[in-house]
Structure 1
């Protein structure tokens, strides 16, 4: 991919900023699609472009101008609680914007496109009802993308990462709890912190390991395939909270919900395809937690 053009959407988000750093350092020409001017820190080798992915003419103009060889589509909304408050926004940002982008890319049939989905989708056949609007939006997105590929024969691939963690601002449990702990250490935000259940099981992958997987899928993945990305190791939310509190210098009040025990994986969720392509996670989740705490202690996430 060196010297070829890669378009990254959602470039100012948690994963997007890491992705811009990584691919620019490899010598790609990186074009970063962002929603607002100056919302992305200056990164050497990255060309920021302001574009609303729900506006067809804006997307078409951007895509035709840069003529990308590869696209990493990270843009979208990913907060389960927020999706309850504004479900239509989630349909617009996660479904409509994706199809608007794919439609613009029909003029570039050789472009390889990686759409990043979510393990929080639900299976349409065995469980036809969504547990929350975010899940519905990501399920509809994946169905639409796979159908679009068959209809228009574009080089579309999908990735389904498990819970991504690492230094940076995100809506994930680890970042939210780290921010709460650091605020409490600094005498701010002393309210209690709530989790759904200490028994919920989660698989965590560092965002930088996920980006290595995205790179591999873009270069070597098979069009039309869905590639799960996971560590293969589950831990409970209770264990995560305990580990993060041990990294803190303050006691906080925790509220534990009574949600039934759940698992982040199932029998079909395996990274075997990626392992065969040479990928495996490098960063243990304990190291990720330390770096998340350091990020917020060093002033990250402000503004």
Structure 2
């Protein structure tokens, strides 16, 4: 039998993004036949690259028909909390309408394909409006609600992933990347030797993007239909602890300043369902921070 015919076909939306780039590399190494979908085409060695706007229903239908995937990793969408305040409709169109177009195309063209939808730890509880804090949270919550609805109404094979704060090498607007980029600039003499943090005691749960992508593969292979899986580490760190780790890794000393130091309650996500299907994180926070810092040292921004 043709070896290509035996390979599993995976479609990755948002393949040009922070997580998407890591996902393409991961699944290529695992010998999947990868279709990398993105708004603007860029090189993805070994993968079939397709330009597609998920807000365009016809383009999405053609994408699914041509790729004919066994698996779909849905990463596409907008994910910046700050800009969601200025462009809420854009976030709804991207994160909700784009997802609906994808689900409809799957329903009509490849109804047996498994879809892993990447949600967010910043989703709110729809039954408690006090937990809604920004338009991004609204758009991601609606994305998951429509995914769960289509899974139930049309019996689609949907699995929901809720990753924590993703970190790792690459261009990211996450806090660890912002800190590391400033430190790399300090090392080059291009930045004042001061790292300012609004709230030193703000706590976050971080998970390396490479561990998250490995978790997505576990969900394709072993996850339960219509289930929700948290992807996180077992420890929450304050931003002060993160900054201190980065200072030990830096080639320059710098001052850490802050506006306030108020502790915040932060529950550690329950990753036991994911661990039961064989996943565990491999990257420590220190290793992730070193890789992020190395990336920014080597990158001309």
With structure 2 as the length reference, what TM-score do the two structures score?
Answer: 0.92
Q: Give runs of ≥4 in structure 1 deviating > 6 Å.
A: none
The Cα RMSD (Å) is 2.0
Report the counterpart of residue 111 of structure 1 in structure 2.
113
Give the drift of 1:255.
Answer: 4.9
Report the counterpart of residue 32 of structure 1 in structure 2.
36
Q: Say if 2:289 is the partner of 1:289.
A: yes
Report the counterpart of residue 63 of structure 1 in structure 2.
64
5+ residue gaps, structure 2, are none
**Alignment check: 8 A CA contact 1:83 1:132 kept:** yes
CA distance in 1 between counterparts of 2:242 and 2:6 reads 38
**C-alpha distance after superposition, 1:67-125 (max 9, x if no partner):** 11100001111111222222222111111111111111112111000000001111122
Report the counterpart of residue 154 of structure 1 in structure 2.
156
Q: Say if 2:275 is the partner of 1:271.
A: no
Change (3 A) 1:264 1:77: farther
Alignment of 1:1-303 (within 5 A): 3-38=7-42, 41-44=43-46, 46-107=47-108, 108-190=110-192, 194-252=196-254, 254-258=256-260, 260-265=262-267, 269-299=269-299, 302=301
Q: What SS class does the counterpart of residue 156 from structure 1 fall into?
A: strand
Change (3 A) 1:2 1:233: farther
Give the drift of 1:244.
Answer: 1.2
CA distance in 2 between counterparts of 1:194 and 1:203 reads 20
Give the drift of 1:2.
Answer: 6.5
Change (3 A) 1:42 1:264: same
**Alignment check: 8 A CA contact 1:18 1:208 kept:** yes
**Alignment check: 8 A CA contact 1:162 1:264 kept:** no
Q: How many residue pairs get matched? A: 296
Range moving further from structure 2, 257-266 or 21-30: 257-266
